[in-house]
Structure 1
Amino acid sequence: MTRIAVIDYGMGNLHSVCKALAHVAPQADIFLTTEASGISKADRILLPGQGAIAACMAQLQTLDLIDPLLLAAQEKPFLGICIGPQLMMQHSEENGGVDGLGLFDGQVVRFDTELTDQQQPIKIPHMGWNTISQTAKHPLWSGIADHSHFYYVHSYHLHDSEHTIGETTYGCTFPAAIARDNIAGLQAHPEKSSDAGLRFLANFVDWQP
Protein backbone atom coordinates (compact mmCIF):
# COMPACT_ATOMS: atom_id res chain seq x y z
CA MET A 1 0.00 0.00 0.00
CA THR A 2 1.30 3.43 -0.96
CA ARG A 3 1.79 5.70 2.03
CA ILE A 4 1.39 9.41 1.31
CA ALA A 5 2.39 11.92 3.97
CA VAL A 6 0.73 15.34 3.81
CA ILE A 7 2.86 17.77 5.79
CA ASP A 8 0.78 19.46 8.49
CA TYR A 9 2.50 22.62 9.68
CA GLY A 10 -0.66 24.62 10.29
CA MET A 11 -0.57 26.54 7.01
CA GLY A 12 -3.20 25.13 4.66
CA ASN A 13 -6.60 23.62 4.00
CA LEU A 14 -5.46 20.10 4.71
CA HIS A 15 -8.93 18.55 4.78
CA SER A 16 -9.54 19.41 1.11
CA VAL A 17 -6.11 18.15 0.07
CA CYS A 18 -6.51 14.84 1.90
CA LYS A 19 -10.05 14.40 0.57
CA ALA A 20 -8.85 14.95 -3.01
CA LEU A 21 -6.00 12.45 -2.55
CA ALA A 22 -8.38 9.89 -1.06
CA HIS A 23 -10.67 10.34 -4.06
CA VAL A 24 -7.94 9.61 -6.61
CA ALA A 25 -6.10 7.00 -4.52
CA PRO A 26 -8.70 5.12 -2.43
CA GLN A 27 -6.28 2.26 -1.72
CA ALA A 28 -3.49 4.52 -0.45
CA ASP A 29 -2.70 5.25 3.18
CA ILE A 30 -3.00 9.04 3.32
CA PHE A 31 -2.03 10.67 6.59
CA LEU A 32 -1.15 14.04 8.06
CA THR A 33 2.18 14.37 9.81
CA THR A 34 3.93 16.99 11.89
CA GLU A 35 6.96 14.82 12.62
CA ALA A 36 10.08 13.48 10.97
CA SER A 37 8.93 9.93 11.71
CA GLY A 38 5.87 10.44 9.51
CA ILE A 39 8.02 11.68 6.65
CA SER A 40 10.38 8.75 7.11
CA LYS A 41 7.70 6.07 6.86
CA ALA A 42 5.95 7.61 3.82
CA ASP A 43 6.50 6.55 0.23
CA ARG A 44 5.46 9.95 -1.14
CA ILE A 45 5.46 13.46 0.29
CA LEU A 46 2.99 16.25 -0.40
CA LEU A 47 3.84 19.75 0.87
CA PRO A 48 0.79 22.04 0.78
CA GLY A 49 0.34 25.46 2.32
CA GLN A 50 -1.03 28.95 2.06
CA GLY A 51 -0.31 32.33 3.59
CA ALA A 52 2.95 34.25 3.97
CA ILE A 53 6.19 32.41 3.25
CA ALA A 54 8.00 33.68 6.36
CA ALA A 55 5.35 32.11 8.60
CA CYS A 56 5.46 28.88 6.59
CA MET A 57 9.23 28.54 6.88
CA ALA A 58 9.10 29.48 10.57
CA GLN A 59 6.57 26.73 11.24
CA LEU A 60 8.64 24.14 9.37
CA GLN A 61 11.67 25.18 11.43
CA THR A 62 9.73 25.10 14.71
CA LEU A 63 8.61 21.54 13.97
CA ASP A 64 12.17 20.52 12.97
CA LEU A 65 10.94 19.45 9.55
CA ILE A 66 13.51 21.18 7.33
CA ASP A 67 16.16 18.44 7.35
CA PRO A 68 13.64 15.56 7.09
CA LEU A 69 12.02 17.26 4.08
CA LEU A 70 15.39 17.82 2.41
CA LEU A 71 16.28 14.18 2.96
CA ALA A 72 12.93 12.99 1.61
CA ALA A 73 13.41 15.15 -1.48
CA GLN A 74 16.54 13.16 -2.29
CA GLU A 75 14.77 9.82 -2.11
CA LYS A 76 11.01 9.97 -2.66
CA PRO A 77 8.43 11.46 -5.02
CA PHE A 78 7.85 14.90 -3.53
CA LEU A 79 5.19 17.40 -4.61
CA GLY A 80 4.68 20.96 -3.41
CA ILE A 81 1.34 22.64 -4.16
CA CYS A 82 0.03 26.18 -3.72
CA ILE A 83 2.81 27.91 -1.75
CA GLY A 84 4.70 24.59 -1.79
CA PRO A 85 6.73 25.33 -4.94
CA GLN A 86 7.62 28.76 -3.56
CA LEU A 87 8.95 27.08 -0.42
CA MET A 88 11.00 24.80 -2.66
CA MET A 89 12.87 27.70 -4.30
CA GLN A 90 16.11 29.32 -3.16
CA HIS A 91 14.65 32.66 -2.11
CA SER A 92 11.46 34.72 -1.99
CA GLU A 93 11.26 38.50 -1.85
CA GLU A 94 8.11 38.24 0.30
CA ASN A 95 8.27 39.49 3.91
CA GLY A 96 11.44 41.44 3.18
CA GLY A 97 13.26 38.38 1.81
CA VAL A 98 13.08 34.78 3.00
CA ASP A 99 15.25 31.80 2.06
CA GLY A 100 13.37 28.66 1.02
CA LEU A 101 14.33 25.00 0.99
CA GLY A 102 16.60 25.45 -2.02
CA LEU A 103 15.36 22.38 -3.89
CA PHE A 104 15.17 24.46 -7.06
CA ASP A 105 17.35 27.35 -8.16
CA GLY A 106 15.46 30.58 -8.64
CA GLN A 107 13.49 33.32 -6.99
CA VAL A 108 9.93 34.13 -5.99
CA VAL A 109 8.72 37.65 -6.81
CA ARG A 110 5.55 39.69 -6.33
CA PHE A 111 3.27 40.43 -9.26
CA ASP A 112 4.07 43.88 -10.61
CA THR A 113 1.13 46.21 -9.97
CA GLU A 114 1.89 47.96 -13.29
CA LEU A 115 1.10 44.80 -15.28
CA THR A 116 -2.09 44.54 -17.29
CA ASP A 117 -4.34 41.71 -18.41
CA GLN A 118 -6.41 42.35 -21.51
CA GLN A 119 -5.45 46.03 -21.18
CA GLN A 120 -6.79 46.23 -17.62
CA PRO A 121 -4.58 46.54 -14.50
CA ILE A 122 -4.22 43.14 -12.90
CA LYS A 123 -5.76 42.48 -9.52
CA ILE A 124 -3.52 41.08 -6.79
CA PRO A 125 -3.79 38.40 -5.60
CA HIS A 126 -4.17 36.41 -8.79
CA MET A 127 -7.37 34.63 -7.85
CA GLY A 128 -9.58 32.31 -9.87
CA TRP A 129 -9.29 30.07 -12.91
CA ASN A 130 -6.49 30.29 -15.45
CA THR A 131 -4.95 27.99 -18.00
CA ILE A 132 -1.60 26.20 -17.88
CA SER A 133 0.41 25.82 -21.05
CA GLN A 134 2.42 22.60 -20.85
CA THR A 135 5.96 23.55 -21.86
CA ALA A 136 7.52 20.11 -21.41
CA LYS A 137 6.30 16.54 -21.50
CA HIS A 138 6.06 15.02 -18.05
CA PRO A 139 4.21 12.11 -16.43
CA LEU A 140 2.37 14.60 -14.21
CA TRP A 141 0.57 15.87 -17.33
CA SER A 142 -0.67 12.42 -18.35
CA GLY A 143 -4.31 12.62 -19.41
CA ILE A 144 -4.48 16.41 -18.88
CA ALA A 145 -5.20 18.48 -21.97
CA ASP A 146 -2.84 21.34 -22.73
CA HIS A 147 -4.26 24.71 -21.63
CA SER A 148 -6.49 23.08 -19.01
CA HIS A 149 -7.86 25.41 -16.35
CA PHE A 150 -6.53 25.36 -12.78
CA TYR A 151 -7.53 27.41 -9.75
CA TYR A 152 -5.13 30.00 -8.29
CA VAL A 153 -4.83 32.21 -5.23
CA HIS A 154 -1.42 33.91 -4.93
CA SER A 155 0.30 37.30 -4.89
CA TYR A 156 3.83 36.01 -5.55
CA HIS A 157 5.06 33.81 -8.37
CA LEU A 158 8.09 31.82 -9.42
CA HIS A 159 10.53 33.63 -11.68
CA ASP A 160 12.46 32.04 -14.56
CA SER A 161 12.87 28.48 -13.32
CA GLU A 162 14.94 26.34 -15.67
CA HIS A 163 12.84 23.35 -14.60
CA THR A 164 9.51 24.74 -15.79
CA ILE A 165 7.07 22.18 -17.22
CA GLY A 166 4.05 24.50 -17.38
CA GLU A 167 3.40 28.23 -17.63
CA THR A 168 0.49 30.55 -16.85
CA THR A 169 0.00 34.11 -18.05
CA TYR A 170 -1.46 36.77 -15.79
CA GLY A 171 0.03 40.12 -16.66
CA CYS A 172 3.27 38.23 -17.19
CA THR A 173 4.10 34.63 -18.02
CA PHE A 174 5.37 32.72 -15.00
CA PRO A 175 6.28 29.10 -14.14
CA ALA A 176 3.10 27.40 -12.96
CA ALA A 177 4.58 23.91 -12.66
CA ILE A 178 8.17 22.81 -12.14
CA ALA A 179 9.83 19.41 -11.95
CA ARG A 180 13.22 17.74 -11.87
CA ASP A 181 14.16 14.19 -10.94
CA ASN A 182 11.72 13.10 -8.19
CA ILE A 183 10.50 16.53 -7.06
CA ALA A 184 7.82 18.81 -8.50
CA GLY A 185 5.70 21.81 -7.68
CA LEU A 186 2.37 23.23 -8.82
CA GLN A 187 1.48 26.84 -8.00
CA ALA A 188 -2.25 26.20 -8.46
CA HIS A 189 -4.58 24.44 -6.02
CA PRO A 190 -5.13 20.99 -7.57
CA GLU A 191 -7.68 20.08 -4.89
CA LYS A 192 -9.83 23.00 -6.14
CA SER A 193 -9.13 22.51 -9.85
CA SER A 194 -11.87 20.04 -10.79
CA ASP A 195 -10.99 17.14 -13.10
CA ALA A 196 -7.61 18.51 -14.23
CA GLY A 197 -6.46 19.02 -10.65
CA LEU A 198 -7.63 15.59 -9.55
CA ARG A 199 -5.85 14.00 -12.51
CA PHE A 200 -2.67 15.87 -11.57
CA LEU A 201 -2.84 14.42 -8.05
CA ALA A 202 -3.60 10.95 -9.44
CA ASN A 203 -0.55 11.25 -11.69
CA PHE A 204 1.56 12.15 -8.65
CA VAL A 205 0.33 9.05 -6.83
CA ASP A 206 1.34 6.90 -9.85
CA TRP A 207 4.55 8.81 -10.68
CA GLN A 208 7.66 6.63 -10.85
CA PRO A 209 10.62 9.04 -11.25
Structure 2
Amino acid sequence: MATQLVVLDYGSGNLRSAQRALERVGAQVTVTDDPDAAREAEALVVPGVGAFAACMDGVRAIAAETVVSERVAADRPVLGICVGMQILFDEGVEHGEQAAGLGVLPGRVERLAAPVLPHMGWNTVSAPADSTLFAGLDDDTRFYFVHSYAVHATDGLVTTAEHGERFVAAVERGPVSATQFHPEKSGDAGAALLENWLATL
Protein backbone atom coordinates (compact mmCIF):
# COMPACT_ATOMS: atom_id res chain seq x y z
CA MET A 1 0.00 0.00 0.00
CA ALA A 2 1.32 3.46 -0.91
CA THR A 3 2.64 5.65 1.87
CA GLN A 4 0.19 8.42 2.78
CA LEU A 5 1.92 11.81 2.71
CA VAL A 6 0.77 15.37 3.17
CA VAL A 7 2.55 18.24 1.42
CA LEU A 8 1.82 21.32 3.52
CA ASP A 9 0.32 24.17 1.48
CA TYR A 10 1.04 27.44 3.25
CA GLY A 11 1.26 29.54 0.09
CA SER A 12 4.92 28.93 -0.71
CA GLY A 13 5.55 27.52 -4.19
CA ASN A 14 6.88 24.21 -5.54
CA LEU A 15 3.93 22.20 -4.22
CA ARG A 16 2.97 20.38 -7.40
CA SER A 17 6.53 19.53 -8.37
CA ALA A 18 7.08 18.08 -4.89
CA GLN A 19 3.81 16.15 -5.20
CA ARG A 20 4.75 14.74 -8.61
CA ALA A 21 8.24 13.73 -7.48
CA LEU A 22 6.86 11.89 -4.45
CA GLU A 23 4.17 10.18 -6.51
CA ARG A 24 6.85 9.12 -8.98
CA VAL A 25 8.52 7.07 -6.24
CA GLY A 26 5.30 5.47 -5.05
CA ALA A 27 3.80 7.76 -2.41
CA GLN A 28 0.16 8.74 -2.21
CA VAL A 29 0.19 12.51 -1.76
CA THR A 30 -2.34 15.06 -0.57
CA VAL A 31 -1.56 18.77 -0.88
CA THR A 32 -3.47 20.66 1.81
CA ASP A 33 -3.44 23.68 4.11
CA ASP A 34 -5.34 21.75 6.79
CA PRO A 35 -3.14 21.59 9.92
CA ASP A 36 -5.10 18.63 11.28
CA ALA A 37 -4.40 16.62 8.13
CA ALA A 38 -0.73 17.60 8.40
CA ARG A 39 -0.69 16.51 12.02
CA GLU A 40 -2.26 13.12 11.32
CA ALA A 41 -0.50 12.17 8.08
CA GLU A 42 1.85 9.21 7.97
CA ALA A 43 4.56 11.66 6.93
CA LEU A 44 4.64 15.41 6.36
CA VAL A 45 6.54 17.32 3.68
CA VAL A 46 7.24 21.02 4.26
CA PRO A 47 8.29 22.65 0.98
CA GLY A 48 9.25 26.28 0.57
CA VAL A 49 10.63 28.97 -1.71
CA GLY A 50 11.28 32.65 -1.09
CA ALA A 51 12.10 34.48 2.12
CA PHE A 52 12.35 32.86 5.56
CA ALA A 53 10.11 35.42 7.32
CA ALA A 54 7.44 35.27 4.61
CA CYS A 55 7.34 31.48 4.82
CA MET A 56 6.94 31.62 8.58
CA ASP A 57 4.09 34.12 8.11
CA GLY A 58 2.45 31.63 5.75
CA VAL A 59 2.80 28.79 8.25
CA ARG A 60 1.26 30.93 10.99
CA ALA A 61 -1.57 32.03 8.70
CA ILE A 62 -2.84 28.45 8.49
CA ALA A 63 -2.22 27.85 12.23
CA ALA A 64 0.37 25.16 11.50
CA GLU A 65 3.31 26.45 13.54
CA THR A 66 2.90 23.80 16.26
CA VAL A 67 2.23 20.90 13.88
CA VAL A 68 5.87 20.15 13.09
CA SER A 69 7.02 20.34 16.71
CA GLU A 70 4.16 18.06 17.79
CA ARG A 71 5.10 15.55 15.09
CA VAL A 72 8.76 15.61 16.07
CA ALA A 73 7.91 15.19 19.75
CA ALA A 74 5.84 12.12 18.77
CA ASP A 75 8.69 10.77 16.57
CA ARG A 76 6.61 11.12 13.39
CA PRO A 77 8.41 11.82 10.07
CA VAL A 78 8.88 15.31 8.61
CA LEU A 79 10.77 16.22 5.43
CA GLY A 80 11.74 19.86 4.83
CA ILE A 81 12.78 21.10 1.37
CA CYS A 82 14.70 24.31 0.59
CA VAL A 83 13.15 27.14 2.65
CA GLY A 84 10.94 24.41 4.12
CA MET A 85 14.20 23.06 5.58
CA GLN A 86 15.33 26.50 6.72
CA ILE A 87 12.20 27.27 8.74
CA LEU A 88 12.74 24.08 10.76
CA PHE A 89 15.67 25.87 12.44
CA ASP A 90 15.63 28.25 15.39
CA GLU A 91 15.84 31.48 13.42
CA GLY A 92 16.67 33.12 10.12
CA VAL A 93 18.22 36.45 9.26
CA GLU A 94 17.51 37.99 5.84
CA HIS A 95 18.07 41.61 4.82
CA GLY A 96 18.79 42.47 8.44
CA GLU A 97 15.44 41.05 9.56
CA GLN A 98 15.57 38.33 12.19
CA ALA A 99 12.64 35.91 12.33
CA ALA A 100 11.93 32.98 14.61
CA GLY A 101 11.68 29.59 12.94
CA LEU A 102 9.89 26.44 14.07
CA GLY A 103 12.82 25.49 16.28
CA VAL A 104 12.86 21.72 15.77
CA LEU A 105 16.47 21.86 14.52
CA PRO A 106 19.18 23.90 16.25
CA GLY A 107 20.79 26.53 14.08
CA ARG A 108 20.55 29.91 12.39
CA VAL A 109 19.92 30.62 8.70
CA GLU A 110 22.25 33.35 7.39
CA ARG A 111 23.44 34.77 4.08
CA LEU A 112 26.03 32.67 2.28
CA ALA A 113 29.48 34.24 2.04
CA ALA A 114 29.95 33.65 -1.68
CA PRO A 115 31.06 35.81 -4.60
CA VAL A 116 27.98 34.91 -6.65
CA LEU A 117 24.46 34.68 -5.23
CA PRO A 118 22.08 33.03 -5.46
CA HIS A 119 23.78 29.64 -5.42
CA MET A 120 21.81 28.30 -8.36
CA GLY A 121 22.43 25.10 -10.25
CA TRP A 122 23.88 21.64 -9.78
CA ASN A 123 26.35 20.83 -7.01
CA THR A 124 27.80 17.80 -5.30
CA VAL A 125 27.42 17.08 -1.59
CA SER A 126 29.50 15.38 1.11
CA ALA A 127 27.30 12.92 3.00
CA PRO A 128 28.26 10.96 6.12
CA ALA A 129 28.85 7.25 5.56
CA ASP A 130 25.85 6.31 7.72
CA SER A 131 23.39 8.63 5.95
CA THR A 132 20.06 7.04 5.09
CA LEU A 133 19.00 9.74 2.62
CA PHE A 134 22.13 9.38 0.49
CA ALA A 135 22.51 5.59 0.72
CA GLY A 136 23.59 4.13 -2.61
CA LEU A 137 24.40 7.52 -4.16
CA ASP A 138 27.92 8.20 -5.43
CA ASP A 139 30.06 11.06 -4.12
CA ASP A 140 29.87 12.80 -7.49
CA THR A 141 26.04 12.80 -7.55
CA ARG A 142 24.70 16.30 -8.20
CA PHE A 143 21.61 17.97 -6.78
CA TYR A 144 19.85 21.18 -7.80
CA PHE A 145 20.20 24.20 -5.50
CA VAL A 146 18.57 27.66 -5.57
CA HIS A 147 19.32 29.74 -2.47
CA SER A 148 21.27 32.67 -1.04
CA TYR A 149 20.93 31.75 2.64
CA ALA A 150 21.99 28.64 4.52
CA VAL A 151 22.76 27.04 7.87
CA HIS A 152 26.41 26.49 8.73
CA ALA A 153 26.14 24.09 11.68
CA THR A 154 23.54 21.90 13.33
CA ASP A 155 23.12 18.59 15.16
CA GLY A 156 22.41 15.21 13.63
CA LEU A 157 23.74 13.53 10.50
CA VAL A 158 24.88 16.54 8.50
CA THR A 159 25.54 16.52 4.76
CA THR A 160 27.41 19.55 3.43
CA ALA A 161 28.05 21.31 0.13
CA GLU A 162 30.26 24.21 -0.84
CA HIS A 163 29.53 27.50 -2.56
CA GLY A 164 31.89 30.20 -1.40
CA GLU A 165 31.91 28.42 1.95
CA ARG A 166 30.75 25.09 3.34
CA PHE A 167 27.12 24.93 4.42
CA VAL A 168 24.49 22.39 5.47
CA ALA A 169 23.01 20.73 2.39
CA ALA A 170 20.93 18.18 4.31
CA VAL A 171 20.32 16.99 7.84
CA GLU A 172 18.91 13.80 9.36
CA ARG A 173 17.95 14.06 13.03
CA GLY A 174 15.45 11.64 14.55
CA PRO A 175 12.16 11.90 12.64
CA VAL A 176 13.35 15.04 10.80
CA SER A 177 14.97 14.91 7.38
CA ALA A 178 15.67 18.05 5.39
CA THR A 179 17.43 19.17 2.23
CA GLN A 180 18.59 22.63 1.21
CA PHE A 181 18.54 21.51 -2.43
CA HIS A 182 15.40 20.56 -4.34
CA PRO A 183 15.12 16.76 -4.70
CA GLU A 184 12.02 17.28 -6.84
CA LYS A 185 14.17 19.20 -9.37
CA SER A 186 17.18 16.87 -9.12
CA GLY A 187 16.13 14.17 -11.58
CA ASP A 188 17.08 10.58 -10.86
CA ALA A 189 19.32 11.58 -7.94
CA GLY A 190 16.45 13.37 -6.23
CA ALA A 191 14.13 10.43 -6.90
CA ALA A 192 16.65 8.05 -5.31
CA LEU A 193 16.89 10.27 -2.23
CA LEU A 194 13.09 10.45 -1.91
CA GLU A 195 12.89 6.67 -2.29
CA ASN A 196 15.43 6.31 0.52
CA TRP A 197 13.32 8.58 2.70
CA LEU A 198 10.09 6.73 1.90
CA ALA A 199 11.76 3.45 2.80
CA THR A 200 12.20 4.71 6.38
CA LEU A 201 8.47 5.34 6.90
Common fold by TM > 0.5: yes
Return 5+ residue gaps in structure 1 as ranges.
116-121
Contact preservation (8 Å) 2:120, 2:145: yes
Provide the residue aligned with 2:159 in structure 1: 166
The runs of at least 4 consecutive aligned structure 1 residues that moved more than 4 Å come to none
- The reply to whether residue 130 of structure 1 matches residue 114 of structure 2 is no
> Which whole-Å deviations, capped at 9, do the CAs of 1:72-102 have from their partners, x for residues lacking one?
2223111101112210111111151011011
In structure 1, distance between residues paired with 2:136 and 2:17: 22
Provide the residue aligned with 1:107 in structure 2: 108
How many angstroms does 1:193 deviate by?
0.6
Provide the residue aligned with 2:40 in structure 1: 41
SS in 1 for 2:125: strand
Provide the residue aligned with 2:50 in structure 1: 51
Contact preservation (8 Å) 2:53, 2:92: no
State which drifts further: 131-140 or 76-85.
131-140
Taking structure 2 as the reference length, the TM-score comes to: 0.93
Provide the residue aligned with 2:135 in structure 1: 142
Contact preservation (8 Å) 1:125, 1:153: yes
Aligned length: 198
Provide the residue aligned with 2:16 in structure 1: 15
Higher helix share: 1
Contact preservation (8 Å) 2:144, 2:185: yes
- What letter matches 1:10 in structure 2? G
Contact preservation (8 Å) 2:47, 2:82: yes
Return 5+ residue gaps in structure 2 as ranges.
none
Contact preservation (8 Å) 2:131, 2:157: no
SS in 1 for 2:13: coil
- The reply to whether residue 200 of structure 1 matches residue 193 of structure 2 is yes
Contact preservation (8 Å) 1:164, 1:176: no
How many angstroms does 1:164 deviate by?
4.4
Aligned pairs for 1:148-159 (under 5 A) are 148-159=141-152
> Which whole-Å deviations, capped at 9, do the CAs of 1:128-168 have from their partners, x for residues lacking one?
00101113412211221123100000010112113242110
In structure 2, distance between residues paired with 1:156 and 1:140: 22
Percent identity between the two aligned chains: 37
